[in-house]
Amino acid sequence: MDRLLGAWGIPKDSLAGRQRLERGVKERRGTEEGEEFKPIRRGWCLGEEKFREDLLTQMSERMGAEHYGEERAKMAEAQAELMIAAELKRGRWQEADLKTRPKGDSVQVALAARLRAEKTMTVGWIAERLAMGTRGCLNHLLYRRRKLGGE
């Protein structure tokens, strides 16, 4: 309590000090100025990136109609990243291997096809994330895979 009061410039924990704190908080809450409060008023989560990632992972099975576009997009991206990480681990690849392999590498194309089929990520996002060139290039690779029966 002393720390909170001190942050407001109130030297002593007393009834008068707490009343002063209450007035100050009410006044500050009433002001719409300051970008510092925008993430609290408009955002769905306040915290560090790791905390957000953990929440998104937990939300993946609890997504409901009350969740909005940004939340859904972040959750979809987090799920896609988990899928990519699992595939990299399974294939004993490093992140850097995505950039050094040919754009049409069969393992990368298979992962891209799986991401496209199971997640809501765009072809552009997948192409950039897997270092597979442009979205047009990836679309061509995915088309060729489907045509050759490699669903």
The tally of domains found in the chain comes to 2
Judged by DSSP in three states, 69 sits in helix
Q: Are 77 and 84 in contact (CB under 8 A)?
A: no
Range of the domain at 127: 32-147
d(CA 87, CA 94): 10
Strands (E), the chain: none
**120 and 131 share one domain:** yes
Indicate if the alpha-carbon torsion angle 132, 68, 63, 46 is positive or negative.
positive
What's the predicted TM-score (pTM) here? Answer: 0.55
pLDDT single digits (tens) 10-38: 988 999 999 999 988 888 776 656 566 66
pLDDT single digits (tens) 78-129: 888 889 999 999 999 999 999 999 988 999 999 999 999 988 889 999 999 9
Indicate if the alpha-carbon torsion angle 84, 90, 96, 101 is positive or negative.
negative
Q: Are 24 and 36 in contact (CB under 8 A)?
A: no
**89 and 26 share one domain:** no
